[in-house]
Amino acid sequence: MLYLFVQLNCIINICEAVKINRLHVPDVTKHGTEVTLDCDFTLDDSESDLVVKWYFNKSLVYQWIPSTKKRPQSLGVLKDRVNLEYQASVDANSIHRALRIIRPGPDLSGNYTCSVSTLESEDAKTKGMVVLVLKTLVRHLS
Ligand SMILES: *[C@@H]1O[C@H](CO)[C@@H](O)[C@H](O)[C@H]1NC(C)=O
Ligand SMILES: *[C@@H]1O[C@H](CO)[C@@H](O)[C@H](O)[C@H]1NC(C)=O
């Protein structure tokens, strides 16, 4: 079934080796409440040296290299603000694909890019997120 799906996907997309199917970044999120930015991707069995990265406003803030068997790293403005144990999937290549921000502040409003690359190919998608403090949120919703 999965094989068939992959084959069909190859025919339609001329076999893109790494592909981000869906980038889940909420448009608006609440200050201080844990938020998950997810990057659902698929890759071909033949691909090697997978690297998953997240950028905030073009700066690298998260990196995970599954083959090293090491924990993901959070960097820059997101250092010590990400739950590095968070598991977004049971798939070994996707376990730590998501960015789980523990206490987002208004300083984290901006553009988030998920980049997935292998030796053979890469894909990236970007979406903006606004972190609102409650006062602003009430105004925004009313
Ligand atoms: C964020 O994305 C918007 C829309 O694509 C763009 O206009 C803006 O310059 C970007 N900001 C940064 C800091 O990259
Ligand atoms: C990120 O980009 C947004 C707009 O795209 C901007 O409002 C915000 O100030 C930027 N934040 C940082 C820390 O660069």
Instruction: Please write down the HEC assignment for all residues of the chain.
Output: CHHHHHHHHHHHHCCCCEEEEEEECCCEEECCCCEEEEEEEEECCCCCCCEEEEEECCEEEEEECHHHCCCCEECHHHCCCECCCCCCCCCCCCCCCCEEECCCCHHHCEEEEEEEECCCCEEEEEEEEEEECHHHHHHHHC
pLDDT tens, position by position, 64-110: 999 998 999 999 999 999 999 999 999 999 999 999 999 999 999 99
Give per-residue pLDDT as tens, 7-59.
Answer: 555 555 555 689 999 999 999 999 999 999 999 999 988 888 999 999 999 99
C-alpha 6 to ligand 2 mean position (Å): 38
Identify which ligand lies nearest to the alpha carbon of 130. 2
Domain enclosing residue 44, as ranges: 17-132
* Ligand 1 neighbours by CB, cut-off 6 Å: 57-58, 110-111, 128
Residue 5 lies in a domain: no
User: Ligand 1 centroid vs 21 CA: distance in angstroms?
Assistant: 22
Q: What CATH number should be reported for the domain holding residue 83?
A: 2.60.40.10
User: How many structural domains are present in the chain?
Assistant: 1
Residues with CB under 6 A from ligand 2: 57, 107, 109-111
Tell whether 142 is covered by a domain. Answer: no
Residue 118 covered by a domain? yes
